[in-house]
Structure 1
């Protein structure tokens, strides 16, 4: 389990694989000069709820991984996270889609469940 640490404040445990994909989207947005909100659900031990941080070029962030090896990248997941990052409400963690599917494919599948 990795950890995302923002400034001197919020910290959240995130699976290493998910954290890798989140890092890719955040760094891509910041390279383009695009700030974004990033939200996550708080653990029940913290009272539940949700935390949102505003990420911009001057933000201080740490992506701490528990394993040294890099995860393979699921391009469909990067695309899904980028889709949320470009929305007015900002980026949030989505479930990992099947590799090679499109966001439309996963939305269609979800709507039939």
Structure 2
């Protein structure tokens, strides 16, 4: 399980490593362009049921911490799906990866 530290909050947002690696690509691209946006996710198992949203801005410190030492192979389709949502009025919504069926 990876961690996303945002601003001066000591408690991280827990996000699965693979999902966090894909989010990192999209978030870094948007912040590099000096764009602000929201990030929304459903609370993981073990936390109170619900969802959260944060406002991401280039001037606010952000740190990605991964449990796994090696980077996963990234899915271009998942990055594109997250990037598409990042450019919408609703901001990035963390969605599950849609894995291709065998034989596709």
Q: Give the TM-score of the pair, scaled to structure 1.
A: 0.78
Contiguous gaps of at least 5 residues in structure 2: none
Deviation, 1:46, is: 4.2
2:82 corresponds in structure 1 to: 81
Distance 1:30 1:39, change over 3 A: same
Residue matched to 1:105? none
Which residue number corresponds to residue 70 of structure 2? 69
- Equivalent in the alignment of 1:8: 8
Q: CA RMSD in A?
A: 1.6
Give CA-to-partner distance per residue, 1:6-64, whole Å, 9 cap, x none: 11236221111110000000000111121110111224654322211111110111111
Bigger share in helix: 1
1:76–1:98 CA contact under 8 A, matched in 2 = no
How far apart, in 1, do the equivalents of 2:7 and 2:99 lie?
33
Q: Which aligned pairs between 1:46-65 and structure 2 lie closer than 5 A? A: 46-65=47-66
Higher relative contact order (CA closer than 8 Å, sequence separation 6+):
2
Q: Give ranges in structure 1 of 5+ residues lacking alignment.
A: 100-113
Task: Say whether the 8 Å CA contact 1:16–1:66 is kept in structure 2.
Answer: yes
